[in-house]
Amino acid sequence: MKANTLSKLAFVVGGSEGIGKETAREMIRQGFDVIIFSRNQSKLDKAIFELQSARQSLRQKTESCALDVTDWNMTKAMMEKLIKKHGTPDYLINCAGYARPGYIEDLEIEHYRKMMDLNYFGIVHTCKAIAPHMMKAKHGKIINTSSMAGFIGLFGYTGYCASKWAVVGFSEALRRELEVYGIRVSVLAPPNTTTPGLIEENRYKSMEILATEEKVKPVSPEYVAKSIIANLSNNKFMIHPTFEGSLAYRLSRFTPSLMNLFVRRKSESLS
């Protein structure tokens, strides 16, 4: 290993598995100092042990912090502590989230609240905690993970879609608010990705939802992570890892009636 100077610092929320972990790995391989966050300490311990082998420098920082981003006070205190110790991050990558599919008659109100708390408010909390420091530095990039469900209303995903649409709206407004400070804000909109979260999510899908999704092959978290890395230095707003995702985004905006033919519920059978 060689000594590392002027390394960029990245905070990766949801970095213990899936897209977040693979993004952290790619950033470490490129010489970044990386701090990963997750609620699950055992997953963090396993992930950081694995990620340290990707270091390119003896001086590279790889650290993990247990954090529940749905807790605003905890998030603010943790970010203040880390920024005091390491400085303002150059990149904030928000990948924490989960989906609980199901038809409206089957989902509990608590499912809706939990998805909004993690998928949306978790992002609001980290951005609110870190943005003022980036504003002082007049530098930084924020990438918030939404989904293709953040711009397409999919049957069986009323709660998830709502939380991910909120991420897009928040990020677009934040982008326009922070660009005067030299801060760039982007949204990642991945398709189904082969993560532990998808395995858990599939347990609750009806046969009709599963049949609809079988038409599109899921991508790997490594593939999505490479898309994030490829867009770190530009000012693109929507990051679509796949051509199909980019096409769906355009169809949903300009020909919503056509898109409706592919994503509406066709069966009256219950889940």
**pLDDT for the residue numbered 5:** 46
Please give the Cα distance from 147 to 165 (Å, whole number).
Answer: 8
At 271 the pLDDT is: 42
Whole-model pTM: value is 0.90
Q: Tell me whether strands 62-66 and 91-94 are parallel, antiparallel or unpaired.
A: unpaired
User: Would you state the pLDDT for residue 7?
Assistant: 82
pLDDT tens per residue, the chain (271 residues)?
Answer: 444 446 899 999 999 999 999 999 999 999 999 999 999 999 999 999 999 999 998 889 999 999 999 999 999 999 999 999 999 999 999 999 999 999 999 999 999 999 999 999 999 999 999 999 999 999 999 999 999 999 999 899 999 999 999 999 999 999 999 999 999 999 999 999 999 898 888 888 888 878 777 777 899 999 999 999 999 999 999 999 999 889 888 887 777 666 666 666 766 654 4
**The CATH classification of domain 9-263, taken from the options 3.30.1360.200, 3.40.50.720, 3.30.360.10, 3.40.50.10540:** 3.40.50.720
Q: How far apart are CA 211 and CA 120, in angstroms?
A: 28
d(CA 55, CA 26): 10
- Please identify which residue in the block is written with the tokens 């905070």: 11
Catalytic annotation, residues: 146, 160, 164
pLDDT reported for residue 211 = 76
d(CA 14, CA 41): 12
Crossing angle of helices 221-230/18-29, nearest 10°?
Answer: 50
pLDDT given at position 251: 80
Predicted confidence at residue 6, as pLDDT, reads 63
For position 68, what pLDDT does the model report?
98
